[in-house]
Structure formats: structure tokens, C-alpha cells
Structure 1
């Protein structure tokens, strides 16, 4: 009987190239549906896989990876407006995150 050897670990540079077709927001877990990092979002009611990630996941990704040029916060800090935290990030932060991912 033959035995299989475990696969060699894949370098991050190759892994990134293989996942280049996916939305970069898939690198963070989805706060809406609970999908793990690098897994697609799903509809919780029908367990259907979505092509695009949920807007909450894209917002979380932008907040995690990019500085906001509008309110001048660093990555990981939520955007704010007049001293109050916003539910979503500014549109300019999305643009900055997409430029960073490219």
C-alpha cells in the first residue's frame, strides 16, 4: 500500500498570485456571515456562496489595510466624523485600500 507524503507549504508569494482573481477583502473574516478569512461569503438563510463579499467585509478590510485620507486615521482605527465613530469607512479609504492592494 502506498502512503502519501504531506504537501509542502506554499510560499505566500505564490499563494497571493493564485488568489489574485478573488476580491482582496477575502483576506479578513466576514463580520456579517461569519465566513473565515480566504473563504467566500455565504447567504446564511440558504447557505448559498456569494461571488462578491458582503459590504461589511469590504469595510472591515479597508479599515484594516488602509489609512483614511479624509479623517487621518491609521489602519485598524475606525473612521470618525466630528469625533463620533462611523459605522462604515469613508469612500476615500476604499480607494486607498484598493490602491494598496493593486
Structure 2
């Protein structure tokens, strides 16, 4: 048997090792620019934050859950009577959190 110290970790194992982190860390942050699975930072001081930026949580909800309020599919922006919203509906956040649990 050979030892491979740099062998890639399977995605199923990686998911359980990151179980204590917010699921929004699975998408890059549009506010501070950090990549997937990295903690958000304060852009001016590069201080690491405990929670993701609201924009990152919004992107995560948009990419993972259908919106029960405006009936759009994942990756489609929520809308109010045909006008696109900047953020997502609160019910879409709830849907995304239920899917992550």
C-alpha cells in the first residue's frame, strides 16, 4: 500500500467535514470576492467574518431552491409582478435552508 498525502477528498466526505459551516459557503461571495468554501472577509481590512455576507446567502438561495412565492426555478431571480428583485423572497431562504438540512 502506498501513501498519498495529497489525494483528493471525495465530495461526499467533504460535505460532512464542513457540516458546521453555513451552506452559503458553497458559492463564491459576490461582495468580498472569496471563492467557494472560504469564509467571507471584510474587504477593507481582510478580517475573516463568522457569517457570510447577505449577498452570498442570497446567491446561494437563488442557486439551490425554487421560490414558492413567485414560482421560479433555481438560478432564476425572484420577481415582483414581472419586475426582477435584487434579493430573494424570504420564503425562498426558508426553502433553501430546509433543503440544506
Structure 1 Cα separation of the partners of residues 82 and 63 of structure 2: 20
Give the structure-2-normalised TM-score.
0.94
Which residue of the partner structure matches residue 16 of structure 1?
15
- Map Cα deviations across residues 24-61 of structure 1 (whole Å, 9 max, x no partner): 00000000000101000000111100000000000000
Which residues in structure 2 correspond to 1:76-87 (within 5 Å)? Answer: 76-87=75-86
Structure 2 Cα separation of the partners of residues 16 and 5 of structure 1: 21
- Map Cα deviations across residues 44-79 of structure 1 (whole Å, 9 max, x no partner): 111100000000000000000000000000000000
| Cα RMSD after superposing both structures | 1.1
Which residues in structure 2 correspond to 1:1-102 (within 5 Å)? Answer: 5-102=4-101
Q: For structure 1, list consecutive stretches of 5 or more residues without a partner in the other structure.
A: none
Structure 1 Cα separation of the partners of residues 13 and 4 of structure 2: 21
Aligned length: 99
Q: Secondary structure at the match of 1:38?
A: coil
Structure 2 Cα separation of the partners of residues 15 and 9 of structure 1: 10
- Residue 6 of structure 1 and its aligned partner are, at CA, apart by 4.5
Give the structure-1-normalised TM-score.
0.93
Q: For structure 2, list consecutive stretches of 5 or more residues without a partner in the other structure.
A: none
